[in-house]
Structure 1
């Protein structure tokens, strides 16, 4: 009896592991030559422990549960909770003031978001900066704790906002994650080789966020287990999800990265 044929594989749908981000890897991710880039040891265990100890003493809020369920906890402010009629609500800017004060209050010896941007800037000739909207700087990042997982979803500022989210139009988008704490089991990021199509809306779980996993049935996938200190840069326009954690908290720093038409990488949260 002959073996079943192997399912077709896209050689460009892969996760690349490297000792550091490079211009070649970032350009390849933007061009679609890979789906994700992993850099183990991006942040030392000592620095991870410093940030984690400071965060563990702080209360985390949840994203709006009417929009994201099961709940995902976070420390910091994300623009997704301040969407209004395809734009950004004025309350976002006021919330950012409290965000910056809260992060300064942690008393860290370094700024983990700036450190992350500087590492990306070293690999990108155009440089990296926090994106602006209406001349005002967006948020620099948040700490997320999706212990019950993230539903299947995609992130694409071009589809989620009317017009341009930032003052500089974007040609591409990445998602950056830096793991501070990982569970002994679960917590994997799953990426499917599937981008949004109009018929996918039949699988949407709510009016705002998340899809039933049937939306990616039959699609090729990659499963990535998180590791402390590892940075992950992925193309969030592919449908992706986070599996529930078992045995410990899963806490990661994160922000969005856009490739601007000015040649710079622009970040926001």
Structure 2
């Protein structure tokens, strides 16, 4: 389950399909209909920016503001995969070039067991494509066989900031829901942090 729009779901020939902007407009209407007294993604950006010179702002593409973030409930987990805007898009994804990338997740609900994030010290190499699962974003876990790994158990109220260019996965949840707010964070060549979803 997801509430929000992910740009990776609207990739087309190494670029961004027009459907992203249409979906983003629909999401903005749905978000306003919630009637929240605050914007949780803005709170997260402000907390990140408070510890970074220049702060954190939502990124732009072609002058248009990208999405703030998504709320996700991956109770079935996520397959082994990586996220790398510099590699996945044929041109700069944002109006400012990126020199680094992170993934941000703030946990709102966690299961009593399962739901761990696993991060491997292995970045994509051409030979890894032999392990890609057909018709999927993910890879067979054999792609990271022998790589050093770290398993992180989520806790409510904690945020995780990782380098998503390393292969990573989320284990299935058991016994309760795993709900998190998330977005991508880029370190721009300007020195500012920019976010997008």
User: Take 1:143 and 1:151, find their aligned partners in 2: how far apart are those partners?
Assistant: 18
Q: Which stretches in structure 1 are left out of the alignment for 5+ residues?
A: 1-72
The residue matched to 1:223 in structure 2 has which SS? strand
Spell out structure 1 runs of 4+ moving beyond 3 A.
Answer: none
Is the aligned partner of 1:217 residue 2:145? yes
User: Take 1:177 and 1:206, find their aligned partners in 2: how far apart are those partners?
Assistant: 28
What's the RMSD between the two structures over aligned residues? 0.9
Higher strand proportion: 2
User: Where does 1:4-43 land on structure 2 (aligned, <5 Å)?
Assistant: none
Deviation string for 1:235-264 (max 9, x for gaps)? 101100000000111110000000001111
| Higher RCO (C-alpha 8 Å, min separation 6) | 2
The TM-score normalised by the length of structure 2 is 0.98
User: Where does 1:183-262 land on structure 2 (aligned, <5 Å)?
Assistant: 183-262=111-190
Report the counterpart of residue 96 of structure 1 in structure 2: 24
Report the counterpart of residue 126 of structure 1 in structure 2: 54
User: Take 2:83 and 2:192, find their aligned partners in 1: how far apart are those partners?
Assistant: 20
Deviation at 1:206, TM superposition (A): 2.7
Report the counterpart of residue 35 of structure 2 in structure 1: 107
2:107 to 176, 179, 192: 179
Aligned residue pairs, count:
197
The TM-score normalised by the length of structure 1 is 0.72
